[in-house]
């Protein structure tokens, strides 16, 4: 597995075009591999996420089973003259292998928290986005038990509210994406609601958690959701 970081040059037309089209960016990411990566059920796959840290610092993160070549992205949306090559790729497999139960990490995740509802008896269920911060948090908490981690709880003396402030977790960056799938002759719109989670987690099952990091979390993985990244707790 590999972890790659690429920085967009937001002043370039190509960068702005990619950043406003999840379909185009998905195609650009997948074009980084000479052969189309397989998408095994529950196995390692290509995941990506865009972090808008500031107007001048917009980063693309990619995890992948194969090493990517982002030459086309550098030429279209980066700094072609920058040394050495315009992106950085790291050995992610070694990092994953070193994870252990009980370790605590800061994390970041952009996800598509959804649930299935039935509005009337007899109607088929419909996938619907969670709209409130409470339900978005509950969605993540329901994932953790089977994904090999738990979100760290705050000590009682650090909680500012009696309810709703129990965890080392911040939810924000809610964003709606709407586009038409290429090749869809009917022109049916696709709408996705994304949310960014930041906080601290503790690994409970290292093997399961490795699979979570490699396979992604939740829906809409092709459109920039599901990639959970870790950083040392400071």
Which token pair is 32?
């980084």
Using an 8 Å Cβ cutoff, are 199 and 151 in contact?
yes
In this prediction, residues 154-160 reach a mean pLDDT of: 82
> Which residue has 């939810």 as its token pair?
171
Q: Are residues 86 and 184 in the same domain?
A: no
Q: Could you list the residue range(s) of the whole structural domain that residue 199 is in?
A: 101-232
pLDDT for res 185: 65
Residue 189, classified by CB atoms within 10 Å of its CB into exposed (0-12), middle (13-18) or buried (19+), is: exposed
CA–CA distance from 61 to each of 29, 89, 115, 154 (Å)? 10, 10, 27, 29
Q: Are residues 121 and 190 in the same domain?
A: yes
Q: Are residues 113 and 89 in the same domain?
A: no
Binned at pLDDT 50, 70 and 90, residue 118 comes out as low
Residue 155, classified by CB atoms within 10 Å of its CB into exposed (0-12), middle (13-18) or buried (19+), is: exposed
pLDDT for res 192: 83
Task: Please write the tens of the pLDDT for every residue from 81-116.
Answer: 876 778 999 999 999 999 999 999 999 999 999 866
In the sheet where 57-64 sits, what is the strand order?
A: 47-54, 57-64, 2-7, 87-91
Q: Are residues 66 and 181 in the same domain?
A: no
For position 24, which CATH number holds? 3.30.70.1200
pLDDT for res 77: 95
pLDDT for res 230: 97
Q: Give the chain's domain count.
A: 2
For position 109, which CATH number holds? 3.30.70.1210
Question: Does residue 28 or residue 181 have the better pLDDT?
Answer: 28
pLDDT for res 122: 63
List, in sequence order, every residue forming a beta bridge with 50; answer none if it has no partner. 60
**219 pLDDT more than 80:** yes
pTM value is 0.88
Task: Please write the tens of the pLDDT for every residue from 171-184.
Answer: 987 777 766 666 66
Among 30-34, 162-166, 191-195, the range with the most confident prediction by mean pLDDT is 30-34
Q: Are residues 66 and 122 in the same domain?
A: no
């Amino acid at each position: 597995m590999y972890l790659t970081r690429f920085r967009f040059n937001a002043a370039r037309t190509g960068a702005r075009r990619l950043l406003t089209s999840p379909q185009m960016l998905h195609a650009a990411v997948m074009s980084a591999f000479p052969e189309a990566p397989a998408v095994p059920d529950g196995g390692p796959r290509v995941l990506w996420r865009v972090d808008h840290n500031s107007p001048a610092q917009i980063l693309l993160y990619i995890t992948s089973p194969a090493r990517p070549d982002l030459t086309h992205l550098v030429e279209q949306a980066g700094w072609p003259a920058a040394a050495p090559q315009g992106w950085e790729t790291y050995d992610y497999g070694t990092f994953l292998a070193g994870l252990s139960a009980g370790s605590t990490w800061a994390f970041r995740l952009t996800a598509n928290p959804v649930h299935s509802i039935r509005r009337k008896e007899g109607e088929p269920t419909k996938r619907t986005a969670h709209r409130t911060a409470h339900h978005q948090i509950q969605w993540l908490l329901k994932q953790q038990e089977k994904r090999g981690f738990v979100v760290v709880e705050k000590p009682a003396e650090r909680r500012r509210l009696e309810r709703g402030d129990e965890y080392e977790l911040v939810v924000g960056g809610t964003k709606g994406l709407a586009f038409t799938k290429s090749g869809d002759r009917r022109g049916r719109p696709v709408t996705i609601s994304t949310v960014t989670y930041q906080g601290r987690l503790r690994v409970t099952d290292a093997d399961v958690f490795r699979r979570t990091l490699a396979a992604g979390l939740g829906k809409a993985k092709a459109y920039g959701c599901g990639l959970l990244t870790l950083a040392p707790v400071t």
